[in-house]
Amino acid sequence: MAEVEQVQAPVAVQAAPAPAIPEPIAVKSAVTTETVAAPVEIPAEAPAEVPAVPVSAPVETLAAVEAPAPVAAAKEEPKAPVVAEAHLVDTYHPPEKMLAKHPSKPHLADLDEYKRLYNESITQPDKFWAERARELISWDRDFQTTRSGSLANGDVSWFNEGRLNASYNCVDRHAHADPDRVAIIYEADDPADGRNVTYGELLREVSRTAWVLKQMGVRKGDTVAIYLPMIPEAIIALMACVRIGAVHSVIFAGFSADSLRDRVVDANCKVVITTDEGKRGGKLIGTKKIVDDALKQCPDVSHVLVYKRTGSEIPWTEGRDWWWHEEVEKWPAYFPPEPMSSEDPLFLLYTSGSTGKPKGVLHTTAGYLLGAAMTGKYVFDIHQGDRYFCGGDVGWITGHTYVVYAPLMLGVTTVVFEGTPAYPNFSRYWDIIEKHKVTQFYVAPTALRLLKRAGDEHVRGEMKHLRVLGSVGEPIAAEIWKWYFEVIGKEECHVVDTYWQTESGSHTICPLAGVTPTKPGSASLPFFGIEPAIIDPVSGEEIHGNDVEGVLAFKQPWPSMARTVWGAHKRYMETYLNVYKGYYFTGDGAARDHEGFYWIRGRVDDVVNVSGHRLSTAEIEAALIEHHAVADAAVVGVADELTGQAVNAFVDLKESVESSDALRKELIVQVRKSIGPFAAPKAVYIVPDMPKTRSGKIMRRVLRKILAGEEDQLGDITTLSDPSVVAKIIDAVHEAKRK
């Protein structure tokens, strides 16, 4: 239902908050639009029965009409829903076939059980998290205090007094229980390569590597930089660091020497771990050479540990550089894990900041491990014997939490994939899933768009063991969601579209596989302990009720949240906790629909204000991608004398589609029809590709700079997966403007 406003005397009415969780939704089939909405706020004096508003209903205000005779006050027409897209998609329930092929049953019985546990996690967080921490973590010493501190003060801590070791929790306890259980399936860039690593073997290799780090002088609290491709040794290096109490700082093995240098210096790293070369998409990457170039300005780095991946000849600095394979052979197969305090640092991970200077986000031990284990268990419905495949890279938070920590905390098998989804062909993901009987698959919409564009003929194999399909990194368009569900999942898998951040450590808003109804494009409902708030960005006040939008914040701390920015706690406070005092500010816009489901709008700084209309770039991009000719889209705002800002769109067309002025007009009409005339792009630029980072995110500031004529002020573009695309985009813009 939609809200209806009455024309009445000005009376301030404070609407009561709607329930955080929607009422149970009647299950009639795998897909249904006959959902039962949660109660919607009705302003005072409104009729008890409010007619449903068609999705297409315009927003119209009836003005007072002059007439010779007195006229009664006119009523306003019903408003169109704020979250219109929620009325344009079906609601999907956990597929019966997914439940039928389940090894046992989902961890939760139904939506009611989720609601009960969720409410407990919000109203009794200490009780809730204490029970889960003791269930999922092995402690050397039990904690006494579940939580202390507050968001307002920026001093949150969890499980004080407790002592534990992350490596023990991820490796030892599973190796002791079943040493022959496969921990890692390594899928090398070349499909003919690869190997399996059991938990027993993992314990041995982690221990030997820990001994080597000790010989290099690494001590508890020291920081180690890891610049490795997606090979088992990346996980071994992480586990070796945390085994001795060192803090790992993984840097994506594709960053330039300058970017690597900045991160090594900022984190005060003593040791760097790398390879002679990397392999990706059939190409060699000179990782050791990049490290050597970076370390010319890193005087504090004393040693470099080099894993031999290809055997190619590389530069060598005697005394500083050590071969991994030579050193590990010198040491015993067991190194005792160092007991750590719950709040001891676990790792640093650098993320882009609005100032351009990367932020070293710091996660601590116990809370992060619990968040990883909890979300792995409930969001992906992981059970013993599962084979889990996350396509993320360990250089980013997705790889940390859902390639490494979550599956290893739960003692299951994780697939480590070195290559790309398009090499040697577009069937690579599907071949891996079929070959290894993968049960859960997790990947970014960027990859899904690429594979959908390649054609369904590349989707081969039964993939009959798949139960859960995950999406990560950005909102997934409804068109891509449905393709994922129908073509890849064969309507037998539950699609979980997950919202979270580097700073959150683990999922914050997401479905629970086998439990939560889902809507294509919606991140659905909050995870345990996450209490979302929609904030009015102008007043700073929380907006209660359903069918509302604003900026997204969280009202309570949760265990896996980052504790600070390395060496810059003031920056941490200003970025996340002081924007809206007492809340954690995500930096993203969001909406809560008429049933309490959440829709992520994109970064708040990716909002265009056109003639007073605040438009989400993500929403306009989704409208463009719905067009049959469009493979990808990016929208930015540029200054406009008449409207303040104007929408400018960049689109990448599908193969075999020709660019034309007629197509540009079609795309403008597409947005007008999908959102409204006020959202229509003023210009559409057809480009050969997007300026994407290696994690798949579009670097929109580059597009804004190009449109502003600031092509000589683009900033650092070395983090792009293909920096050469920038020149092609510039040429396309110049050509379009000449026309």
List, for residues 292-308, the tens digit of each pLDDT value. Answer: 999 999 999 999 999 99
CA distances for 706 relative to 35, 697, 703, 713, 737, angstroms = 46, 18, 5, 9, 12
Region of poorest pLDDT, from 33-42, 243-252, 262-271? 33-42
pTM for the model stands at: 0.78
Predicted confidence band at 102 (pLDDT cuts at 50, 70, 90)?
confident
CA distances for 119 relative to 127, 149, 449, 529, angstroms = 12, 21, 37, 9
pLDDT tens digits, one per residue of 202-218? 999 999 999 999 999 99
Instruction: Tell me what pLDDT residue 31 has.
Output: 44
Q: 38 pLDDT exceeds 50?
A: no
Predicted confidence band at 642 (pLDDT cuts at 50, 70, 90)?
low
Domains: count for the chain: 1
Residue 708 CA to residue 639 CA, distance in Å, equals 9
Q: 732 pLDDT exceeds 60?
A: yes
For 7-56, list the strands marked E by DSSP: 31-32
pLDDT tens digits, one per residue of 327-349? 999 999 999 999 999 999 999 99
Region of poorest pLDDT, from 16-25, 145-154, 366-375? 16-25
Closest CA to 606 of 590, 593, 592, 624: 590
Considering the domain boundaries, does residue 716 fall inside one?
Answer: yes
Residue 545 CA to residue 558 CA, distance in Å, equals 23
pLDDT tens digits, one per residue of 395-439? 999 999 999 999 999 999 999 999 999 999 999 999 999 999 999
Closest CA to 224 of 322, 77, 348: 348
Q: 20 pLDDT exceeds 50?
A: no
**Percentage of the residues of the chain whose pLDDT score is greater than 90:** 74
Considering the domain boundaries, does residue 625 fall inside one?
Answer: yes
Q: How many residues does the chain have?
A: 739
pLDDT tens digits, one per residue of 115-124? 999 999 999 9
Q: 178 pLDDT exceeds 60?
A: yes
Considering the domain boundaries, does residue 147 fall inside one?
Answer: no
Domain containing residue 731: 611-738
> The dihedral of CA 654, 660, 661, 663: what is its sign?
negative
The pLDDT of 557-581, averaged and rounded, is 96
Considering the domain boundaries, does residue 691 fall inside one?
Answer: yes
Q: 613 pLDDT exceeds 70?
A: no
Residue 672: CB atoms within 10 A of its CB come to 15
Predicted confidence band at 518 (pLDDT cuts at 50, 70, 90)?
very high
pLDDT tens digits, one per residue of 649-707? 999 999 889 999 999 999 999 888 777 677 889 999 999 999 998 778 888 889 999 99
The pLDDT of 52-79, averaged and rounded, is 42
The pLDDT of 46-68, averaged and rounded, is 32
Closest CA to 371 of 116, 561, 157, 146: 561
Chain mean pLDDT for the chain: 88
Helix (H, G, I), strand (E, B) or coil at 625: helix
Proportion of the chain in helix, strand, coil states, percent, rounded to 5:
30, 20, 50
Considering the domain boundaries, does residue 602 fall inside one?
Answer: no
Predicted confidence band at 719 (pLDDT cuts at 50, 70, 90)?
confident
Most confident of the ranges 60-64, 79-83, 234-238: 234-238
Instruction: Tell me what pLDDT residue 21 has.
Output: 54
Instruction: Tell me what pLDDT residue 73 has.
Output: 52
Considering the domain boundaries, does residue 556 fall inside one?
Answer: no
Q: 736 pLDDT exceeds 60?
A: yes
Q: CATH number of the domain at 649, please.
A: 3.30.300.30
CA distances for 122 relative to 115, 364, 377, 379, 409, angstroms = 11, 22, 19, 18, 24
Instruction: Tell me what pLDDT residue 716 has.
Output: 81
Q: 125 pLDDT exceeds 60?
A: yes
Considering the domain boundaries, does residue 659 fall inside one?
Answer: yes
Q: Say if CB 609 and CB 637 are below 8 A apart.
A: yes
Considering the domain boundaries, does residue 734 fall inside one?
Answer: yes
Instruction: Tell me what pLDDT residue 523 has.
Output: 97
**Percentage of the residues of the chain whose pLDDT score is greater than 70:** 87
